[in-house]
A = this chain, B = another copy of it.
């Protein structure tokens, strides 16, 4: 093995490249960046979430010198228990991220205070042959960092998820000085967040939300309900501030919202200097014009508070006339339909609903294309690798890099599971390794594969039909009238004739085929029959009981 090569390996299937997990490997030393999960797409029914397939590391667990987590979002932290179960290495993260990781590891009975190492933006840590400098970046959760990783071959900068907000809610901008210092030292490669690479201009600052909140709060006569992500602590801060300006008290509802906010208050990332926060009981006893309810459910999740309010199934309180609901989030790709439906239902149940673009009550946490170009100009890397995006974003980002002077030969776009080989002079695309998904369904880790998903897909379209019969083992004659049942196929009460004809087919097949190929013949015949009659192809199970 050539020791003078740094391997960069993004893991996690055809999704956002390197977002959930990234491996840096130099000789017998491995550094892992992030351990997140993905949410299933609409064509993966029943799957709860997805974690990266890190079987590439199976025979090298002892070479992992450390795991660095850039920020506290699920897509960067959510697989930590699966990783920590197998890999016994220290985990480095900033205070808020550590807090979130700790509760995940405790739940999985894997928490070890010696192994979870708290660092601060600005710190520098030696991890095997890598010196990792953590630098602050703005993002839609506090305490997010990018990484300056000094390797034996040169300095590699990893942006984390970032934007270049000049007026963030916590007044803590991205650390431009540190980035400038990196550029002064000379950066071998920049790995940078591509999420919004196809979006023009600059992502608006969090600050514009304050004005939108003021407009919405001013117009509200009754209660204000704000839904956002439980991790979006800065938004909770903005709601506390806006409520104070408009004479309202705030109650946080929903477990994850309460738990995250408590942790953020304890660690100093969320401030309530005017004691605006109240309990739910207090809130419900106040005049409607004096209350803001802050909750989860911005993605229309049926089990969230907002999701339950939309269908009238929340226990402690319900929607009331005059309520104004602010959906302070954008739908995550794939959730557009369910978010629309939730908003329509809230309106149907009497609420006034405000969402972007009606008012700018949310902005993205990721850099748009002008910011991405700005970062590349600031870092001045020799090589550029777009990460954290679907293939189309990576290509858009690669094209931006060329616009700001990175030669096209020095840019590499790869998918998860492709090894990049970096030397001080070259960036080349190496082997492909298993870099797919592992599906998590219930408590099953990886027991669902493509075949089961294909069956579920077919079941979801046309349901199934069971044919159950008894035949005489000697004479091969039917001993009963074949019983046909179905689920998810047709409305049974209206389909007597269809089932009657199907049964006749079965009877005649058994009569004509005294051999033992009955099962496949009945399957095929009924499949063709149902398709011809009603253009559906249910899964057909034929059970032959020999007596």
Option from B348, B395, B480, B485 in Cβ contact (under 8 Å) with A541: B485
Q: Check A392–B459 contact: CB distance below 8 A.
A: no
B residues in contact with A447, CB < 8 Å = 490-491, 494-495, 534
Among A355, A390, A391, A458, chain B packs the most CB atoms within 10 A around the CB of A391
Option from B344, B452, B460, B543 in Cβ contact (under 8 Å) with A390: B344
B residues in contact with A46, CB < 8 Å = 460-463, 488, 536
Option from B353, B415, B441 in Cβ contact (under 8 Å) with A536: B441
B residues in contact with A288, CB < 8 Å = none
**Cβ-based interface call for A443 (8 A):** yes
Within 8 A of B (CB), among A189-206: 198-200
Option from B460, B491, B535 in Cβ contact (under 8 Å) with A456: B460
**Cβ-based interface call for A4 (8 A):** no
Option from B41, B199, B458, B543 in Cβ contact (under 8 Å) with A466: B543
Q: Check B448–A491 contact: CB distance below 8 A.
A: yes
Please measure, in the bound complex, the distance between the C-alpha atom of A444 and the C-alpha atom of B442, giving whole angstroms: 35
Whole-angstrom distance between the Cβ of A458 and the nearest chain B Cβ: 8
B-facing mask of A386-428, CB < 8 A → 1, else 0?
Answer: 0000111001100000000000000000010000000000000
Q: A541-B487, A543-B543 are in contact. Are A455 and B449 (CB under 8 A)?
A: no
From A74-82, A132-140, A333-341, the one touching the partner chain is A333-341
Copies in the complex: 2
Please measure, in the bound complex, the distance between the C-alpha atom of A490 and the C-alpha atom of B456, giving whole angstroms: 10
Q: Check B444–A534 contact: CB distance below 8 A.
A: yes
Within 8 A of B (CB), among A126-178: none
B residues in contact with A334, CB < 8 Å = 336-337
Q: Check A455–B444 contact: CB distance below 8 A.
A: no
Please measure, in the bound complex, the distance between the C-alpha atom of A36 and the C-alpha atom of B334, giving whole angstroms: 26
Among A415, A456, A470, chain B packs the most CB atoms within 10 A around the CB of A456
Q: Interface size (A, Cβ < 8 Å)?
A: 72
Whole-angstrom distance between the Cβ of A396 and the nearest chain B Cβ: 6
Q: Check B396–A358 contact: CB distance below 8 A.
A: yes
Within 8 A of B (CB), among A14-42: 14, 41-42
**Cβ-based interface call for A45 (8 A):** yes
Q: Check A470–B545 contact: CB distance below 8 A.
A: yes
Q: Check A199–B487 contact: CB distance below 8 A.
A: no
B residues in contact with A444, CB < 8 Å = 490, 534-536
B residues in contact with A449, CB < 8 Å = 491
Chain A facing B: main interface SS: mixed
Q: Check B455–A543 contact: CB distance below 8 A.
A: no
Within 8 A of B (CB), among A357-403: 357-358, 390-392, 395-396
**Cβ-based interface call for A451 (8 A):** yes
Q: Check A333–B344 contact: CB distance below 8 A.
A: no
Q: Check B452–A41 contact: CB distance below 8 A.
A: no
Please measure, in the bound complex, the distance between the C-alpha atom of A199 and the C-alpha atom of B43, giving whole angstroms: 29
**Cβ-based interface call for A269 (8 A):** no
**Cβ-based interface call for A489 (8 A):** yes
**Cβ-based interface call for A311 (8 A):** no
B residues in contact with A392, CB < 8 Å = 340, 343-344, 347, 353
B residues in contact with A1, CB < 8 Å = none
**Cβ-based interface call for A457 (8 A):** yes
**Cβ-based interface call for A539 (8 A):** yes
Whole-angstrom distance between the Cβ of A390 and the nearest chain B Cβ: 5
Q: Check A348–B198 contact: CB distance below 8 A.
A: no
B residues in contact with A489, CB < 8 Å = 452
Please measure, in the bound complex, the distance between the C-alpha atom of A199 and the C-alpha atom of B356, giving whole angstroms: 9
**Cβ-based interface call for A181 (8 A):** no
Please measure, in the bound complex, the distance between the C-alpha atom of A452 and the C-alpha atom of B488, giving whole angstroms: 5
B residues in contact with A272, CB < 8 Å = none
**Cβ-based interface call for A547 (8 A):** yes
Q: Check A347–B391 contact: CB distance below 8 A.
A: yes
B residues in contact with A314, CB < 8 Å = none
Known pairs A468-B545, A483-B543, A543-B543 / 9 extra A-B pairs, C-beta < 8 Å? A41-B341, A43-B338, A200-B357, A443-B535, A449-B491, A452-B463, A452-B488, A459-B464, A468-B543
- Chain A residues in the interface with B (C-beta under 8 A): 14, 41-43, 45-46, 198-200, 333-334, 336-338, 340-341, 343-344, 347-348, 352-353, 355, 357-358, 390-392, 395-396, 415, 441-444, 447-449, 451-452, 455-464, 466, 468, 470, 480, 483, 485, 487-491, 494-495, 533-536, 539, 541, 543, 545, 547
**Could you jot down 26 A-B contacts, CB within 8 Å?**
A14-B344, A42-B42, A46-B460, A46-B488, A199-B357, A200-B357, A334-B336, A334-B337, A336-B336, A340-B390, A347-B391, A352-B395, A353-B392, A442-B536, A444-B535, A447-B494, A448-B491, A452-B490, A455-B488, A456-B459, A456-B488, A459-B463, A459-B487, A464-B487, A466-B541, A543-B543
